[in-house]
Structure 1
Amino acid sequence: MTTYVVLLTGDETAWERLTAEQQASVFAKHEEFARLLASRGHQLTGGQELVPSHTTKKITKAADGAVMVTDGPYTESVEQLGAFYLVESDDLDDLLDICGVLAEPDGAIEVRAAVDHGTGTDSGA
Structure 2
Amino acid sequence: MTQRYLILLPGDEDAWEALTREQRDTVYARHDEFGTKLRANGHTVLGGAELTHSRETKLVRADAEGNVVVSDGPFAETTEQLTGYYDVETDNLDDLLSLVAIVAGPDHASAGMGAVEVRRVPTAEDREP
Output the TM-score relative to the length of structure 1: 0.91
Partner residue in 1 for 2:122: 115
Q: How does 1:20-99 map to 2 (within 5 A)?
A: 20-99=21-100
Whole-angstrom distance in 2 between the partners of 1:51 and 1:116: 29
- Aligned counterparts of 1:65 and 1:22: Cα–Cα separation in 2: 46
Give me the whole-angstrom Cα distance separating, in 2, the residues matched to 1:58 and 1:96. 32
More helix by share: 2
5+ unaligned residues in a row in structure 2: which ranges?
A: none
Structure with bigger strand share is: 1
SS at match of 1:115: coil
Q: Deviations over 1:53-110 (max 9, x none)?
A: 0111111111122111111001100101000101111111111110011012231211
Give the TM-score normalised by the residue count of structure 2.
Answer: 0.88
Count of equivalent residues: 120
SS of residue paired to 2:116: strand
> Which aligned segments of 4 or more residues in structure 1 are displaced greater than 6 angstroms?
none
Supply the distance in 2 between the matched residues of 1:30 and 1:18 (Cα, whole angstroms).
16
Matches of 1:83 and 1:65, distance apart in 2: 31
What RMSD in Å do the two structures reach over aligned CA positions?
A: 1.1
In structure 2, give the amino acid aligned to 1:112.
R
The secondary structure found in structure 2 opposite 1:120 is: helix
- Structure 1 unaligned blocks of 5 or more: none
Matched residues, percent identical? Answer: 45
Give how far 1:115 is off.
Answer: 1.6
In the alignment, the residues of structure 2 paired with residue 74 and residue 21 of structure 1 have an alpha-carbon distance, to the nearest angstrom, of 29
